[in-house]
Amino acid sequence: MARPARNADTLVRAVKRRSNGADKSVRVTNSKHIPSGEGGAVTGMSDELLDRCHSFHNCGRSVGSFKGSGCFARGSNYRMQHFQAVILLQQFEKLLKETEIRRANADYLTAGLNQIGGIAPARLPENSRTVGTDRRAVRSVGCLRRARRSRPTHSNFNGLSRGKFIHALGAEGVPCGGGYGEQYNDGMLDEAINSPGYKRLWSADRLKAYRESFKDLKGNAQVCATTVGMGQTLLLADRSAMDHILEAIRKIRAYSAALAKGA
């Protein structure tokens, strides 16, 4: 069942409160492996859960085991446009092949980065590989969204900051960035905490304790401060491009002392 991506997670959470089925939301926005603008899908092992999701995205109408008359349940119009579905269906043919290319290049980069030292490649769950059931169906376990993320350490790069590392890598022709920051500091949660609704539901002490608890997320803060990410499309390049990335990082490490002192 497909629906606009920006609401996929919300839909699953809303429906799952009344179901015990395993589920996953999949987004297909422009940065994803099979993009279609704004779109998404919900997958699961529970027919009841999927029927409820289908009903929710179709204005609460009866679907499968979730039966009723008219728009009998809560829902909205989250139906995907036909042309978006066609765009997605055409891309399934290439998904298995491109995923294998990404996996091979990611493994190659990981091995090369481990040899350089001072770089800690992102760890994936064991056996996180893609399994194709047929040409039109793909079941993924972690690998489909596999972008290269790594963490340069200060000691091996002479105190070179992440910002200067990213700038130097970009100067070598390797596009990269810092990825996500600590989003709980962006203001959205502060707005919610200070809203009249939250203040009616929880005491001032409880809201203050909740806000202060963000300071305890030290592991998340470290990841946000040290991660360097490269887009997943880089992993579709040929092996010489992977060698170029590794050589660029070796060069940065060799000149890291001078780069760290520079403006």
Alpha carbon distance 164, 253 (integer Å): 12
In eight-state DSSP terms, residue 170 is H
Phi-psi region of 127 (alpha: psi -120 to 50; beta: other; left: phi over 0): left
The per-residue pLDDT for 200 is 96
- How many residues can be counted in the chain? 263
The mean pLDDT of the chain is: 79
Q: Quick check: 135 pLDDT over 50?
A: no
Q: Quick check: 164 pLDDT over 90?
A: yes
Q: Quick check: 134 pLDDT over 80?
A: no
The per-residue pLDDT for 175 is 93
Alpha carbon distance 71, 55 (integer Å): 9
Q: Quick check: 206 pLDDT over 80?
A: yes
Place of tokens 């390049």: 237
Q: Quick check: 2 pLDDT over 50?
A: no
Pull the structure tokens for residue 53. Answer: 């999701």
Average pLDDT over residues 58-79: 82
The CATH number of 94-180+222-261, from 2.60.40.1260, 2.40.50.140, 3.30.465.10, 3.90.1150.10, is 3.90.1150.10
Is the pLDDT higher at 77 or at 205? 205
Q: Quick check: 50 pLDDT over 70?
A: yes
Domain boundaries, the chain: 5-80, 94-180+222-261, 183-216
Q: Quick check: 23 pLDDT over 60?
A: no
Average pLDDT over residues 98-116: 90
* Residues 6 or more apart whose Cβ sits within 8 Å of residue 163: 178
Amino acid identity at 178: G
Q: Quick check: 193 pLDDT over 80?
A: yes
Q: Quick check: 154 pLDDT over 70?
A: no
Q: Where residue 54 falls among pLDDT bands split at 50, 70, 90?
A: confident
Question: Phi and psi of 24, rounded to 5°?
Answer: -155, 135
The per-residue pLDDT for 130 is 58
Q: Quick check: 245 pLDDT over 90?
A: yes
The per-residue pLDDT for 253 is 92
What burial class does residue 144 get, using C-beta atoms within 10 Å of its C-beta: 0-12 exposed, 13-18 middle, 19+ buried? buried
Average pLDDT over residues 50-72: 83
Indicate if the alpha-carbon torsion angle 112, 113, 115, 121 is positive or negative: negative
Q: Where residue 250 falls among pLDDT bands split at 50, 70, 90?
A: very high
Least confident piece of the model among 29-38, 125-134, 215-224, 226-235? 125-134
